[in-house]
Structure 1
Amino acid sequence: MLNRYANGILQGLPANRLLAIDAFRGLTIVAMILVNNPGSWRYVYDPLLHAQWHGWTPTDLIFPFFVFIVGLSIKIAIDRQLEAGHARAPIIKHAFIRMAKLVALGWFLALFFYNFRDPSFSWVDERLLSMRIPGVLQRLGVVYFFTVLIVLHWRTTGRIVWALLLSFSYWAMLAFVPYSDAAGNQYQGLYDHGNNLASWLDQWVLGAAHVYDKKASPFVMDPEGILSTLPAIAGCLTGVLAGQFLMNDKIPLIKRILGLLSVGLVSVLLAEVWNGLLPINKALWTPSFVLLSSGFACLTLGLCLWLIDHKGIKAWTAPFVVFGANAIAFYMFAAIVARVLLMLSVGDTSLKGWLYNQVFQPLFGNYNGSLAFALCFLALSYVVMHWMYKRGWFWKV
C-alpha cells in the first residue's frame, strides 16, 4: 500500500525533474516546521533548539539549507529561461516582484496576531508600531533577488569571487570597523550577543522596536538583520555553484555524488578549524557558519542523490515531495495556524496551551509531549498539503 501511495505521487513528476532536490527541499521545510512548533518552548530537546550564541545545532542548519536550495533553484530556472530566449530585463523584473511578495508575506506574519485574553492589548502599539522589519521570508526575498542579479551578470568565476567577496568583506567589517554606544563607549571586533557591528547597525537603521531581540544590550539584535544578509547571499551562491556541478551531464552521476560529498566533508572540517578564529554563529551568519552549513547542505544533497538516483530508493521521498512542492504555502499555513492556536482561548489559557497541558503532556510527559505535539502538527499539515497537491494547487510567489 505504501509503495502504491508513493508511486502515485512520484509518477506524476516530470521525467526530467531532479527528485533529489525535491526531496531535499521537502526535508528542509518539514524540519523547519517541526522545530518551530513544539507543544511547549520550556520542554524542547537540545538538538531541536538553536545554539544560544556561538556553536551550532542541527536546527541552525535548517534556514541556510533553504537558502542553499534557493540557489539550486535559481541556477536551474535561469538556465531554462535563457535557453528559451528570455531577455534579462523581464527576469530581473520577475525576481524583484517575487522579492516584494516574500517581504510582504513576512510582514503579514509579523502583524498577524491579537491577544484576545488581554483586555489592555493594543494591536497598533504592540504589533503595528513595533513590527519586526527583518524576518525569514524577508531575508529569502532579498537574498533571492541579489543572487539572481549576480547569476545573470557573472559566470562561474565571477560567482565564486562574489561569494568570497561578500563573506570576507562582512568578516572584515565585523573585525575592523569601530562603533560606539549611546554613552560614547568605543568597540571593535566583538562577536558578543548584543555587542557587535551587525547589532549596532540594526539598532541604528531599523530602531530598537523593530528587531527580533529587543532586550539585547547594549544593542538590540536580529538574526535576519541588515549586515548579515551579505554572507547569506554568499550561502545562496554556494547553492548556485552546487547546481552548476550537479547539472553537468558530462560528469558521470557517481562522480557528481562523490564530488558533492567530498566538498561537503572538506567544508565542514575547514569550518570547524576556522571556528577557532571566527566563531560559528548562526545569529551573526558568520562566514565560518556559511562554510559549515553549505558543507552540510552538499553532504545532504549528495546523500539524497546516492539514495534516489544511484541506488533507486525513492518511495521514502513521496511525503517530502508533497511538502516541498508547496513550500511557501506550507510555511504560511503552519505559521498562521500556529498563531491561531495561540490566539484562541480555552478558559484562561490559549488553545495550544490547553492541548499541550490537557492532552499531550499527560499522555507522553514534558519533552515527549512537546515533541508529539509538533509531530501531530506536521501530520495535520500533511493532510492539507496532500489535498492541495492532488488537486494541482501550487502556490508560487
Structure 2
Amino acid sequence: MLLRHCQQILAKQPANRMLALDALRGLAILAMILVNNPGSWQYVYPPLLHAEWHGWTPTDLIFPAFLVMVGMAIPYSLAGRQMLPKAELLRQGAIRALKLYLLGLFLVLFYYNFRDPNYSYLQQKLLTVRWSGVLQRIGIVYFCTLLIVLYSGTRGRVLWLSGLCLLYFLLMQFVPYRDNYGHTFVGLWEHGNNLAAWLDHHVLGPNHVFFRSATPFAFDPEGILSTLPAIASCLSGVLMAQLLQSKAELAFKLRVLFLAGLAAIWVAELAHPALPINKMLWTPTFVLLSSGFTALILGLFLWLTEMKRYRLWTAPLLVFGVNAILFFMLAGVAARVLSMVPVAGTTLGNWLYRSAFQPLFGDYNGSLAYAICFLLLSYIGMLYCYRRGWIFKV
C-alpha cells in the first residue's frame, strides 16, 4: 500500500520540474515546520534549536537552504520566459516579491491574545508590528537576485556574490557607530552590539524587531544590513542552477557540487575563529557553510534520483516541496490558532501538549512528538492539495 501511495504521488508530479530540487525544497520546509512547532519551547533538543549566537546547529541551515533554492528556481523560470522584455520580468518579479512580503506581514499580524481581557490589538500588535520575517526576507532577496541575474552574466554574478559578502564584512568591521550615551564602537560582532543591530535599531525601530530587549541596540535576525549576504546565498543557488543547466555530463556536475560544497564548508570552518559563523548576522562564513551543505545534499539527491534512479523515497517530500509557500502559510496559521484558542486557563496547543504528549512521552520526547504529530496532520492536508493539483503560486 505504501509503495502504491508513493507511485501515485510521483505520477502526479507536475511536468518540467526537477525531482531532486522539489525533494530538497520539501525537506527544507518540512524541517522548518518541525523545528518551529515544538510542544514546549522549554523542552527542545539542542539540534532543533538555533545557535544562541556564534556557531551553528542543523536548524541554522534550513532557512539559507531555502534561499539557495529560491536562487536555483530563477534560471529555470527565466528559461521559459526568454521572449519577455526585462522590464516585464522585473514587473512580475516585483509583484511576486510584494506578495511574499505581504504574506509574511499577514502571519505577523495574525494573532490575538484572547486570554487577556486587557489585550489591545492596536497597541500590542499593529503599532508594534515586526517589519521583517522569513517570507519578507525571501521576497526582498528574490527581487534583488532577479535584478542581478537579468543584468549580469556568470562572471558578474560571481562578482556580485563575493562583492556583497566583502562589502558586508567591511561595513561591519570598519564603520563606527555610537549609542545614546555617546560611546563609539567599531568592529564588534556581539549580540545587540554591532553595526547591523545599530542600523535596525535606528531605522526599523526598537519596537518593530524580533530582539526588542537586546542591548544596547534592538535588532532583527532578518534585518536590513544582513540582507546583503542573504542575497549572496541566493546567488549561490543561481550558480548551482547554471551548472545543472549546462551540457556537461551529470557525473561532472555532481563532482563539482560535492567538491565545491566540501571546499565551502572547509573554508567557513577554517575562517570561523576570525570571522564567526553566525546565522543571525548572516556572516560571509555562514553563507559559505550553508551553501556548501545545500550543495552536498542537492548532489546526493541528484545522485539518488538521476544516477541510481531511486525515486520512490522522494514522494513524501514532493507533497511539501511543490507547494512550499502554501505549506508554510497553512502551518503558520494553524500554529497561531493553537496559540490563541484558550482552553483550561492556557492555550489549546499547550493544553494538548501537557494533557496528551507530555504524560505519554515525557518532557523532551513529548515536545518532539507534538511537533511530529503537527507535521503528520499537515501532510494529510498537503496531500489532499497535491492530489488535486492545487499549487499555490505567488
Q: TM-score range by the shorter chain?
A: over 0.9
Following TM superposition, where does structure 1 have runs of at least 4 consecutive aligned residues deviating by more than 6 angstroms? none
- In 2, Cα distance between equivalents of 1:14 and 1:361: 40
Give 1:392's aligned residue: 389
Q: Which runs of 5+ in 1 are unaligned?
A: none
Residue number in structure 2 paired with 1:26:
26
The aligned runs of 1:324-343 (5 Å cut-off) are 324-343=321-340
CA deviation map 1:99-154 (0-9, x unaligned): 11111111111111111111111111110000000111000000000100110110
Query: Which residue of 245, 249, 263 maps to 1:252?
Result: 249
What is the CA distance between 1:221 and its match in structure 2? 1.3
Q: Determine the C-alpha separation between the residues in 1 that align with 2:81 and 2:221.
A: 33
2:369 to 343, 363, 372: 372
Instruction: Please say if 1:112 is aligned against 2:104.
Output: no
Alignment partner, residue 56 of structure 1: 56
- The question of 1:43 aligning with 2:40 is answered no
What does the per-residue CA deviation read over 1:279-301, in whole Å, with 9 as the maximum and x for residues that have no partner?
00000000000000000010010
C-alpha distance after superposition, 1:333-359 (max 9, x if no partner): 001100000110111010011000000
2:53–2:278 contact (8 Å) kept in structure 1: yes
Counterparts of 1:339 and 1:12, CA distance in 2: 31
Confirm or deny that 1:264 pairs with 2:261.
Answer: yes
Counterpart of 1:222 (choices 220, 223, 238) is: 220
C-alpha displacement at 1:13, in angstroms?
Answer: 2.6
Task: Please give the alpha-carbon distance, in whole angstroms, between the structure 2 residues aligned to 1:49 and 1:328.
Answer: 22
Give how far 1:17 is off: 2.6
* Contact 2:338 2:348 (C-alpha < 8 Å) held by counterparts: yes
**Structure 1 residue 281 corresponds to structure 2 residue 248:** no
Say which of 378, 383, 386 aligns to 2:380. 383
Q: Which residue of 1 aligns with 2:137?
A: 139
Q: CA RMSD in A?
A: 0.8
Q: CA deviation at 1:194?
A: 0.2
Residue 298 of structure 1 aligns with which residue? 295
SS in structure 2 of the partner of residue 210 of structure 1: coil
Cα deviation code 1:171-223 (max 9, x no counterpart): 00000000000000000000000000000000110110000000100001110
Measure, in 2, the Cα distance between the counterparts of 1:135 and 1:22: 23
| Alpha-carbon shift at residue 15 of structure 1 (Å) | 5.5
State the TM-score, normalizing by the size of structure 2.
0.99
Q: CA deviation at 1:88?
A: 1.0
User: Which structure 2 residues correspond to residues 332-371 of structure 1 after superposition, within 5 A?
Assistant: 332-371=329-368
Greater shift, 15-24 or 146-155, is seen at 15-24
Identity of aligned residues (%): 56
Q: What whole-Å deviation, never above 9, does each CA across 1:250-272 have from its counterpart, x for those lacking one?
A: 21111111210111011000000
Label 1:87 to 1:69 Cα distance change in 2 as closer, same or farther (>3 A): same
Q: 1:314 aligns with which of 278, 303, 311?
A: 311
CA distance in 1, matches of 2:158, 2:80: 21
Q: Following TM superposition, by how much is the alpha carbon of 1:14 offset from its aligned partner in structure 2, in angstroms?
A: 4.9
In 2, Cα distance between equivalents of 1:371 and 1:26: 19
Give the gaps of 5 or more residues in structure 2.
none
Matched letter for residue 355 of structure 1: L
Q: 8 Å contact 2:53–2:191 — kept in the other structure?
A: yes
If the length of structure 1 is used for normalisation, what is the TM-score?
0.98
| Helix, strand or coil at the partner of 1:189 | coil
Q: Alignment partner of 2:211: what SS?
A: coil
SS at match of 2:80: helix
Structure 1: how far apart are the matches of 2:328 and 2:343?
A: 26
Deviation at 1:62, TM superposition (A): 0.3
Q: Secondary structure at the match of 1:221?
A: coil
- Cα gap change, 1:388/1:16 in structure 2, threshold over 3 Å: closer, same or farther? closer
Alignment partners' CA distance in 1, 2:231 and 2:280: 15
Which residue number corresponds to residue 188 of structure 1?
186
Quote the residue 1:208 is aligned against.
Answer: 206
Query: How far, CA to CA, are the matches of 1:392 and 1:79 in structure 2?
Result: 23
CA positional deviation for 1:12: 2.3
Asked if the contact 2:12–2:387 (Cα under 8 Å) also holds between the matched residues in 1, the reply is: no
CA–CA distance in structure 1, aligned partners of residues 64 and 290 of structure 2: 6
CA–CA separation in structure 2 for the residues paired with 1:16 and 1:334? 27
Other-structure match for 1:171: 169
CA contact (8 A) 2:43 2:363 kept: yes
Distance of 1:3 and 1:244 partners within structure 2: 34
Query: Is 2:162–2:232's contact at 8 Å kept on the other side of the alignment?
Result: yes
Pairwise CA distance, 1:157: 0.0
Q: Distance in 2 between matches of 1:12 and 1:63?
A: 27
1:28–1:260 Cα change, 3 Å: same
